[in-house]
Amino acid sequence: MRILQGMQDPDVPWRHALALVDLLGGPEADVHLTLVKDGEHRLSRPQDLALLFRTVEGVVAGCQSASDGHRPRQ
């Protein structure tokens, strides 16, 4: 799970994201929190969207490499 949180978000305090990570996290959890220091609620600036796209690309790449190891033998 990937969580992107703006620290200037007036609607969802960034400390809530920390608490969420604590609840979701465990030794086996794949939870990553990215705090955007000057990010607001929408994270819609070009640099925020670039971070979002990089994050999604990383998740997709991880899924693809994981599935490569689990393909059925032919």
The one-letter amino acid at 4? L
Domain ranges of the chain: 2-68
**Residue-averaged pLDDT of the chain:** 91
33 - beta bridge partners?
3
What's the whole-number mean pLDDT along residues 11-40?
A: 94
What's the whole-number mean pLDDT along residues 13-40?
A: 94
Residues in the chain: 74
Name residue, tokens 């796209």. 53
Q: Tell me: the pLDDT tens digits for 48-67?
A: 999 999 999 999 999 988 88
Instruction: Give the residue from 44, 41, 52, 34 showing the smallest Cα distance to 12.
Output: 41
